[in-house]
Structure 1
Amino acid sequence: MGEIEDKTRTPQQERSIRTKEAIIRAAMKLFSDKGFHQTNTKEIAAAAGVSTGSFYSYFIDKRAVFIDVLHMYGEELLARIDASMSKINFDTIGRAELILHLVDTLLLSHKAFIGYHKDLSIMYHSDEVIKQLMDEQYETGRLRTLKYLQMGQDELKTEDIEAASVIVFESVSAIVDVISFSPQRISTERLKSELVQMIINYLYK
């Protein structure tokens, strides 16, 4: 494995950086549309506008590009959330509006990657490297939740904010996943409304 990895290159020039990013983005779309196991490296290369040989100069196989897709997806998701939250005036926004805004931002981020998320759920239990990366991203999300809770700490009725960050983060993530990836028997608006009310009742005095 090490000898094969040595043959791949880390891009230094801007053109090579753009080529590698194009491969990652093409793979992300194909994994989302078709699934990881139904996609091959030839398709990824063609979608990125490069030769199959060029693909292998950057990645040893499609699992390697899947891992880079996971990195990129996590970074862009957090950047999208931070950009969305930065537009909020925390002094004037209502609690329900704030939580709903966060839920809607997550839903928008999940919408385009249904197939990709299904693969992540499977590979989390079968690939230790992917599991570790997903666990790290989970912790980043929890710490971000903790940060937002600490900003309004005086209004909280819970004394264990760290535990609360896990409960809130898990609750929001679970319902966002249900809305995004599961058959619906209850409307999205009803689920969001109950989620927001549950979090408000749990957190605030």
Structure 2
Amino acid sequence: MEIPSQPSDPLVSATLAVLKAAREQGVEITKTKLVKLLYMADLQAVEAGENQFSGATWRWDNYGPYDSALTRAEYELANSNLIERRDNRLFEEYGACVLTLAVDIDDPLPDDKMSIVRDIVRRFGGKSATALKDLSYKTSPMVEAQAGGERGVLLDLSRVRRSKAVRAVLARARAHRAAREPQETTPEAYGELLVELAASRDSIRRANERVLGDQ
């Protein structure tokens, strides 16, 4: 069925997308898992050269990436009767708040975004909330935030795109090195290399100053 009131908030649409994919794949989604899956979906979009689409403003919180606006999106959906909330925390020592899509709906996101969400739910939806939290801490934006040592900072998701580019360059360099024929080195070659380095010393110094901004 069509969504009764098409949400204009990207965060609400992205939340519905995760719950729809979870319903299709028979995956149980808790509040904690929802947050981490949305974060992973945004990362995958950015890594592919696109913009993040969840609408979340990701910060390093107590349990990894988070945006407090997710709570508002959750309650908005619960009040619309599109989702059901089953809070087991009152009855089980290690219970969780489980979120389930209450009705079958059309895809709330464009095809390319839904494809990312379905892929993320397929790959990570079966993991526990703790496992997803641990994975999130190993992502490039979170590693960078932890290096700064202060919770609450905005996460730079473009970091994952730069990391991918660096990995690609390193992979090409390793492949090139592996394809090269063995090189023979002689004492004369060392001498020639030293002469070349000495002749290039000023050029190297000027290049370094330009890069470092000290010119």
For the aligned pair, the TM-score class normalised by the smaller chain equals under 0.3
Q: Relative to total residues, which structure has the larger helix share, 1 or 2?
A: 1
Per the normalisation by structure 1, the TM-score is: 0.25
Q: Relative to total residues, which structure has the larger strand share, 1 or 2?
A: 2
Asked which structure has the greater RCO (Cα within 8 Å, sep 6+), the reply is 2
Per the normalisation by structure 2, the TM-score is: 0.24
